[in-house]
Amino acid sequence: MADENESSSPEEQALADEWAAALAEAGDDASQDDIDALMNQGAAAPSAPPPPRAPMEEFGAGTPLNIPAGLEGPNLDVILDIPVTISMEVGSTDISIRNLLQLNQGSVVELDRLAGEPLDVLVNGTLIAHGEVVVVNEKFGIRLTDVISPSERIKKLR
């Protein structure tokens, strides 16, 4: 009997142990032959069919993304504490590596924005608004002048 246990795989041994425990709970005086017979029945049984899958169109029937969530909308509490990075972009430009390496203190880099033009407000790199620079308690801030609607933001993602 020890030879049989050594030649069986760990999965088969675990299954045999489960059957032995179940038979012991049932109060049967089960022998190793009974356990082996039950184990062989379990191995010969066809595997269960995979669970049915829901059609994809059922998942698309939720709240449309371009409608602001109200009281009846999805529960946003699960994402409200996720940190995001908000940044303001004054402007940008493309320069060659040669010119980049020549920059030093006092160099001026010309940007693609006009003076006084609104800044871009980015959240995790996605444009969400435009605004103007203000000073609040001796620190820079931004006053939002134009907020991009959620539906427009989604269109830009596509």
Q: How far apart are alpha carbons 54 and 51 in whole angstroms?
A: 10
Q: How far apart are alpha carbons 156 and 81 in whole angstroms?
A: 25
pLDDT, position 68: 56
**Ranges 10-19, 35-44, 63-72, 95-104: which has the least confidence:** 63-72
Closest C-alpha to 121, from 113, 111, 131, 112:
131
Under the banding of pLDDT at 50, 70 and 90, the label for residue 129 is very high
DSSP E strand boundaries for 48-154: 86-89, 119-123, 126-136, 139-147
| Overall average pLDDT of the 59-79 stretch | 59
Domains of the chain, by residue range, sit at 86-93+116-157
pLDDT, position 115: 87
Q: How far apart are alpha carbons 2 and 8 in whole angstroms?
A: 10
Under the banding of pLDDT at 50, 70 and 90, the label for residue 97 is very high
Q: What pLDDT digit, counting tens, does each position of 102-119 carry?
A: 999 999 999 998 888 999
Q: Does residue 56 surpass a pLDDT of 60?
A: no
- Answer yes or no: pTM beyond 0.85: no
Torsion angle of the four alpha carbons 95, 101, 102, 103, in this order, in degrees rounded to the nearest 10: 80
What is the third-level CATH fold of 86-93+116-157? Surface presentation of antigens (SPOA) (2.30.330)
pLDDT, position 43: 53
Q: How far apart are alpha carbons 130 and 117 in whole angstroms?
A: 9
List phi, psi (to 5°) of 131: -160, 175
pLDDT, position 108: 93
Q: What pLDDT digit, counting tens, does each position of 26-52 carry?
A: 655 556 666 666 666 655 555 556 556
The CA-based angle 126-154-158, given to 5 degrees, is 90
Q: How far is CA 60 from CA 56, 67, 86, 151, in A?
A: 7, 15, 31, 17
